[in-house]
């Protein structure tokens, strides 16, 4: 395949999925890591994609657009992994928890596979797949059903009705953005409705969000900052944002990202 043909194939995949991972392109196109990175550089110089750590996303995507799971999975991988590791320490054997859709909650799911007698309610196809593929006995996963979004969340009336009948101890919520005015937000109206039902079903709300989510505002609010019993973020969060969040959420937990973590290889 010629370079131009390969770059066109990459661009089509980015447009279709919202993003690509270098590792996936190397495997699927049968070329070297360096070749793929050069292709992405060419596409980025032409303004067709935006390079991110480990891959690329659609250029110029705004906060009102909903990226696909592939697009989000290549962003802030080390930060998300650190957040997931810290959040996993909050889960006790024998508990019933909920995990919303998102790449950070997906990372958390991998760290919960060894928790005994765990019940997980989720509207995330990806999260449910993590537990299904592990084949571990002694864990129960409740998948809500609903209409699938680009981020592989199940939303809408079916999801809301299923969640309304359930009660969990802790909800681990992934968000698109957070700000003092709008609180925790998402660009998908139906997902916001479903997430609000998840919030209502839980005794405790723990939000998982890396530092890049601060100041980003999706079109629909899920919850006010004050509703979060805890927010797990990374140390890349600016001092001003730390002060603002610490004044509103129940507990602000900051964790240090570690490069070359397990999340990159997933």
CA–CA gap between residue 67 and residue 69 (Å, rounded):
7
pLDDT in tens, the chain (266 residues): 788 889 888 988 877 666 788 988 999 999 999 999 999 999 888 777 878 777 887 665 444 455 666 556 556 788 999 999 999 999 999 999 999 999 999 999 999 999 999 999 999 999 999 999 988 888 999 999 999 988 889 999 999 999 999 999 999 999 998 998 889 998 888 999 999 999 999 999 999 999 989 888 787 899 999 999 999 999 999 998 999 999 999 999 999 998 654 443 34
Quote the pLDDT of residue 61. Answer: 47
Quote the pLDDT of residue 142. Answer: 96
φ, ψ of residue 193 to 5 degrees: the values are: -60, -45
In a 3-state reduction of DSSP, which class is residue 80?
helix
Quote the pLDDT of residue 265. Answer: 39
Quote the pLDDT of residue 71. Answer: 55
Nearest to 128 by CA among 113, 117, 138: 113
Quote the pLDDT of residue 62. Answer: 45
Positive or negative, the CA dihedral 95, 99, 105, 109 is: positive
Segment holding 204, helix H or strand E: strand 202-208
Which domains occur in the chain, in start order? 3-61 (1.10.10.10), 77-265 (3.40.50.1360)
Strands 252-255 and 96-99: unpaired
CB contact at 8 A, 253 and 83: no
Residue 122 bridge partners (DSSP): 99, 143
Q: Is the pTM of this model over 0.75?
A: no
CA–CA gap between residue 141 and residue 148 (Å, rounded):
18
Strands 96-99 and 119-122: parallel
Our CA dihedral for 159, 160, 164, 168, rounded to 10 degrees, sits at 60
Q: How many CB atoms lie within 10 A of CB 38?
A: 14
Side by side, the strands of the sheet bearing 220-223 are 177-179, 183-186, 220-223
Quote the pLDDT of residue 127. Answer: 96
CA–CA gap between residue 165 and residue 161 (Å, rounded):
7
């Amino acid at each position: 395949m010629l370079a131009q043909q390969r770059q066109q194939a990459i661009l089509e995949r980015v447009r279709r999925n919202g993003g690509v991972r270098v590792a996936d392109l190397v495997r699927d196109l049968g070329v070297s890591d360096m070749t793929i990175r050069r292709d992405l550089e060419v596409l980025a110089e032409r303004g067709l994609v935006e390079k991110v750590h480990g891959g690329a996303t659609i250029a110029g995507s705004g906060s009102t657009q909903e990226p696909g799971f592939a697009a989000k999975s290549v962003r802030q991988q080390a930060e998300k992994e650190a957040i997931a590791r810290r959040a996993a320490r909050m889960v006790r054997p024998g508990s019933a928890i909920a995990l919303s859709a998102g790449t950070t909650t997906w990372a958390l799911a991998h760290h919960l596979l060894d928790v005994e007698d765990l019940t997980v309610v989720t509207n995330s196809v990806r999260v449910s797949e993590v537990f299904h593929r592990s084949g571990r006995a002694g864990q129960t996963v409740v998948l809500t059903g609903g209409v699938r979004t680009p981020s592989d969340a199940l939303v809408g009336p079916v999801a809301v009705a299923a969640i309304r009948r359930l009660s969990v101890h802790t909800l681990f919520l992934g968000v698109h953005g957070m700000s003092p005015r709008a609180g925790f937000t998402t660009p998908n109206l139906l997902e916001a409705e479903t997430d609000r039902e998840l919030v209502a079903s839980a005794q405790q709300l723990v939000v998982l969000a890396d530092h890049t989510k601060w100041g980003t505002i999706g079109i629909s609010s899920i919850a006010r900052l004050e509703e979060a019993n805890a927010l797990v973020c990374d140390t890349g969060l600016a001092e001003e944002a730390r002060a603002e969040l610490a004044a509103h959420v129940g507990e602000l937990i900051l964790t240090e990202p570690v490069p070359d973590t397990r999340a990159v290889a997933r």
